[in-house]
């Protein structure tokens, strides 16, 4: 069974009686352990799609199943649990607390989890190590470079051991070198078995995935495997 499955998915917004179609007839599936990029220009509908896939918004047409269940099969409380436990999110703007250490930032999602507090430090130290930032544990996020901040955000997304990581333009605020390190991190995590769904407008970034779904004006225009996939530099020790 696919982890993600959409069938004729659509999203229409209504504003003062005017309908705007953001997504139309979107159908695809993603198996667990895959690295897939959804690529499109600004306004193409890719972020709307991410919000639906991440249970942050609801579709208006078609069907979306995550791990075999639609959003309507969950209570509101369970939807929040699925987002916190099964899904990890990485955004362009990092969303870290500036005057808080790397360790404390990474532990934040555990406040809303069912993980015993006695295990928080051990789990946080493990995911921080996985993104190569063990030497930055006690640094406040305001003291980090942009690339380091994004890697902290990735560690935070991993803390609850999610089924999938949604990365929305994770290199958008970074220089090319820092962006490459972040993409290396995501690719390394995928090689370790994590499912990654990347949202991007950049071909160079998308080519770190094994498959690229291109979207234009709310519709899928291509869905292809990456023939010459960019490989990680394995910089993480």
Task: For the chain, give every domain's residue range.
Answer: 4-95+161-225
Q: In this structure, how many other beta carbons lie within 10 angstroms of the beta carbon of residue 73?
A: 11
| 183 to 16, 143, 235: CA distances (angstroms) | 41, 22, 11
pLDDT score at 233: 63
The pLDDT value given to residue 182: 92
pLDDT under 50: residue ranges of the chain: 235-237
Give the pLDDT confidence score for residue 231 in this predicted structure: 79
Give residue-wise pLDDT tens across range 133-177. 999 999 999 999 999 999 999 999 999 999 999 999 999 989 988
d(Cα 73, Cα 39) in Å, to the nearest integer? Answer: 29
According to the model, what pLDDT value does residue 232 have? 66
**What is the distance between the alpha carbons of residues 24 and 5, in angstroms, rounded to a whole number?**
15
**Model pLDDT, residue 127:** 95
Q: How many CB atoms lie within 10 A of CB 100?
A: 15
- Region at 193 (left for phi over 0; alpha for psi -120 to 50; beta for the rest): left
| SS3 of residue 177 by DSSP | helix
Closest by CA position to 88, among listed 2, 153, 178: 153
Measured between alpha carbons, how far apart are the two ends of the chain, in Å?
Answer: 34
* Token output for 190: 């995928």
Written out in words, the top-level CATH class of the domain with range 4-95+161-225 is alpha beta
* Residue 115 in tokens: 């993980």
């Amino acid at each position: 069974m696919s982890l993600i499955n959409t069938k004729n998915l659509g999203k229409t917004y209504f504003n003062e009686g005017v309908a705007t179609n953001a997504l139309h007839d979107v159908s695809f599936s993603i198996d667990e352990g895959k690295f897939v990029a959804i690529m499109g220009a600004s306004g193409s509908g890719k972020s709307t799609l991410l919000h639906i896939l991440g249970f942050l918004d609801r579709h208006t047409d078609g069907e979306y199943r995550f791990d075999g269940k639609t959003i309507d099969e969950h209570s509101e409380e369970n939807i929040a649990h699925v987002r916190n436990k099964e899904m990890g999110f990485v955004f362009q703007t990092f969303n870290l607390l500036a005057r808080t250490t790397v360790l404390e930032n990474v532990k934040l999602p555990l406040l809303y989890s069912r993980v015993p507090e006695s295990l928080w430090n051990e789990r946080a130290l493990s995911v921080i190590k996985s993104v190569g930032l063990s030497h930055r544990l006690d640094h406040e996020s305001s003291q980090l470079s942009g690339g380091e901040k994004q890697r902290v955000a990735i560690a935070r997304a991993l803390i609850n051991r999610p089924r999938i990581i949604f990365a929305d333009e994770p290199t958008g605020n970074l220089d090319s070198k820092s962006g490459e390190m972040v993409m290396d991190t995501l690719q390394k995590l995928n090689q370790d078995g994590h499912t990654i769904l990347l949202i991007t407008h950049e071909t160079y970034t998308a080519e770190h995935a094994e498959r690229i779904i291109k979207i234009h004006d709310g519709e899928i225009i291509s869905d292809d495997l990456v023939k010459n996939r960019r490989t990680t530099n394995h910089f993480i020790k």
